[in-house]
Chain A
């Protein structure tokens, strides 16, 4: 592709490479630094005397006898019961993804196939809902949830996250279903299928690429949420992100900020793997709205 006429001058090439190197450091270095530091003691991770301590682990050797220590991980996972939060997060993500995809595929399919004007209004209202910051809704939830005595439980958080997720899921699946030719299900209906049978037997088998991409983003929303889960889950049922925030309040005074560091690394690891395996889908999802306008 790069023909001779297109060859870049040396100076431009250098500028481009320098930009890349600087950006790569900015994007990746903080994560590796924190990963490395999570195996140290606090006096090394935060060192006022000499920053190289966090590399060599001088205080870590003095305190534990080895340059690496699992103290932070032990403290977070066992002592502070981070495993409970991890299990709660797993449940929340699993149910949020499956329920929002079920509702979203049905709704998105109908929106893509309807030619009436109300389908457009439906999408426009969904767009308005997408713009509302979730935290503004929380003060509307709390009195009702207290009243019905459903505050603090995982199913409540799951339903709320599914609802907050719907506008985005609908938009994404709507534009995906638009790309599946409508002749496909229409011919099935000519052959005597009902609308639902056509959806069940013709559309479901071909919809998986779009569903997987949308599912990834539902997962990220549920996994990354802080504002909603912190407000409507009680301490026992906390998911990972609010749990980390609660470490900051309690453990900083106890001098155990390393628990939070270990928990942060533990929470980032699954995301790392997720991007690694689903990079293509994430990229296509992020650009979905843009390229189609």
Chain B
């Protein structure tokens, strides 16, 4: 395809991505180095019949002027990154100096907002991803063994948790897990503890969020593995049987090697998606026990005062996290596609 034709064909798409993905990324980086202007305070002298008093007031005009002149705010360097809500450099050093044990240090660290969010996000990502792969594989093997006529409906119901809106899926589970809901009741009965409530217990809340994570992403792993199982070479399997391979050996040496590339694919997509975990925290109203990086950005942006610089700094740190997670993938894609 000629250069000019390529240019015109890709122009609309490239323009959309440039304007609404690339520029905003640059903009959050710039923004994260600035803080909003403080209001200009002036002293006003109020003179009445009983003498004069001085009071401080906000000079609206001067404030507006200042904001007009430098709309980005004051240049702050890395200050936003270093403050208590982000990397908390001073608090971190203090905690490290005062540490008595490593466990105590980690649990103190989890009181700082950014580390709390990062801690949950990483735990969630690295627990949910492998579990998703394992459950997806088990379900795929089970569905593949079912009668052909049953498979359609089985796939239909399996897809539901994955296709349904994440916020809604989270809510549906949360309402059932609520102390007054059906699973909540069952849990209380099982634990024989009438006071048990997911809302009140950090450990339970973390596990429920991860249960939600596996529940909603296992269908994706399932469908990829299921498609993979359809293309396992029957000839190779037959050859293995003739050579006397047991059922387990057939799976171990024929099926699993065939599915291995698919596992890398699933792991990649899942790492990417789990790292942005956000909706279930809203659904489960879990912010007291668990927050994630995405939630922290959302929280800065919502609320009464929009803390744009703070949100921008967390966004940049999140992007760096994504870049670290993604770097092996990019290298791999570069090698496999780049040479072709």
Is A110 within 8 A of B145, CB to CB? no
User: In the complex, are the beta carbons of A27 and B219 less than 8 A apart?
Assistant: yes
Instruction: Give, as a whole number of angstroms, the nearest-CB distance from A183 to chain B.
Output: 14
Tell me the residues in window 101-158 of chain A with beta carbons closer than 8 Å to chain B beta carbons. 102-104, 106-107, 109-111, 113-116, 118-120, 122-124, 126-133, 135-144, 147
B10 engages A111 (CB within 8 Å): yes
**Contact A109 to B312, CB < 8 A, known contacts A24-B157, A126-B17, A163-B16:** no
Cα-based distance from A111 to B14 in the complex (angstroms): 12
B180 contact from A30, A48, A147, A293, Cβ within 8 A: A48
Q: How far is the CA of A54 from the CA of B214 in the complex (A)?
A: 27
Which chain A residues border B158 with CB–CB below 8 Å?
A: 23, 27
Q: Check B223 against A30 for contact (C-beta < 8 Å).
A: no
Q: What secondary structure prevails in chain B residues at the interface with A?
A: helix
Encoded as 1 (CB less than 8 Å from any B CB) or 0, chain A from 159 to 174 comes to 1101110110010000
Given contacts A124-B330, A224-B165, contact A48 B179 (CB under 8 A): yes
Nearest CB of A to B305, in Å? 13
Task: State which residues 13-40 of A face B: CB under 8 Å.
Answer: 13, 16-17, 19-20, 23-24, 26-28, 30-31, 33-34, 37
The 0/1 profile, CB within 8 Å of B marked 1, for residues 275-291 of chain A is: 11001001100110111
Once the chains bind, are B157 and A268 in contact (CB under 8 Å)?
no
Known: A27-B160, A34-B175, A140-B24. A132 touches B16 (CB 8 A): no
* Docked pose: A162 CA to B275 CA in angstroms: 22
Q: Do the beta carbons of B16 and A135 come within 8 Å of each other? A: no
| Residues of B with C-beta under 8 A to A290 | 224, 227-228, 262, 265-266
In the complex, what's the smallest C-beta–C-beta distance from A86 to chain B, in angstroms? Answer: 13
Q: B318-340 interface mask toward A, CB cutoff 8 Å, 1 = contact, 0 = none?
A: 11001001100110011011100
Q: Tell me whether B5 and A195 are in contact (CB under 8 A).
A: yes
A76 interface residue, CB < 8 Å from B?
no
CB contacts under 8 Å to A, within B208-241, are 215, 219-220, 223-224, 227-228, 231, 241
Question: B166 — which chain A residues lie within 8 A by C-beta?
Answer: 224, 226
Chain B residues in 8 Å Cβ range of A20: 142-143, 146, 154
Q: Name the CB-closest residue of B to A12.
A: B247
Q: How many angstroms between the C-alpha atoms of A44 and B264 in the bound complex?
A: 46
- Selected from B159, B215, B318, B338, the residue in CB contact (under 8 A) with A282 is B159
Question: How far, in whole Å, are A123 and B338 apart by their CA atoms in the complex?
Answer: 11
**Cα–Cα, bound, A78→B205 (Å):** 34
Are B157 and A28 in contact (CB-based, < 8 A)?
yes
Decide yes or no whether A223 CB sits under 8 A from chain B.
yes
Does A107 contact B10, Cβ atoms closer than 8 Å? yes
Is A31 in contact with B159, judged by CB distance below 8 angstroms?
no
A residues near B325, Cβ cutoff 8 Å: 131
Among A140, A227, A271, A286, point to the contact of B25 (Cβ < 8 A).
Answer: A140
Given contacts A5-B241, A54-B182, A138-B301, contact A289 B265 (CB under 8 A): yes
Measured CB to CB, the closest approach of chain A to B144, in angstroms, equals 9
B308 located at the interface, meaning its Cβ lies under 8 Å from any Cβ of chain A in the complex: yes
Interface-facing stretch out of A61-69, A206-214, A240-248 = A240-248
Q: Assess whether B291 is interfacial by the CB under 8 Å rule.
A: no
A227 to chain B, nearest CB (A): 6
Residues of A within 8 A of B6 (CB): 110, 114, 116, 118-119
Instruction: Check A94 for interface membership: any CB of B closer than 8 A.
Output: no
Interface residue? B172 (CB, 8 A): yes
The reply to whether A267 and B24 form a contact with Cβ atoms under 8 Å apart is no
Distance in Å from the Cβ of A168 to the closest Cβ of chain B?
11
Q: How distant is the Cα of A51 from the Cα of B247 in the complex, in angstroms? A: 45
What chain A residues lie within 8 Å of B257 (beta carbons)? Answer: none
Contact (Cβ within 8 A) B276 A231: no
A124 pairs with B334, CB closer than 8 A:
yes
Alpha-carbon distance between A159 and B15 when the two chains are bound, in angstroms? 11
Say yes or no: A282 contacts B163, CB within 8 Å. Answer: yes
Separation of A48 and B195 alpha carbons in the complex (Å): 11
A 241-261 contacts with B by CB, 8 A = 241, 244-245, 248, 260-261
Query: What 10 A-B pairs come out closest when comparing CB atoms?
Result: A140-B24, A163-B20, A110-B9, A107-B13, A46-B180, A133-B276, A136-B315, A140-B27, A287-B227, A139-B311
| Given A20-B146, A110-B6, A226-B279, 18 further pairs, Cβ under 8 A | A106-B9, A128-B326, A138-B297, A139-B301, A139-B312, A139-B315, A140-B27, A142-B306, A143-B308, A160-B20, A164-B20, A166-B21, A226-B165, A227-B294, A264-B172, A267-B168, A271-B164, A290-B227
Can you spell out 27 A-B residue pairs with CB atoms less than 8 angstroms apart? A23-B142, A33-B182, A34-B172, A46-B180, A54-B182, A106-B12, A120-B337, A129-B22, A133-B278, A136-B28, A136-B319, A138-B297, A142-B308, A159-B16, A159-B20, A160-B20, A170-B13, A226-B279, A248-B285, A264-B171, A268-B168, A275-B156, A287-B223, A287-B224, A287-B227, A290-B224, A290-B262
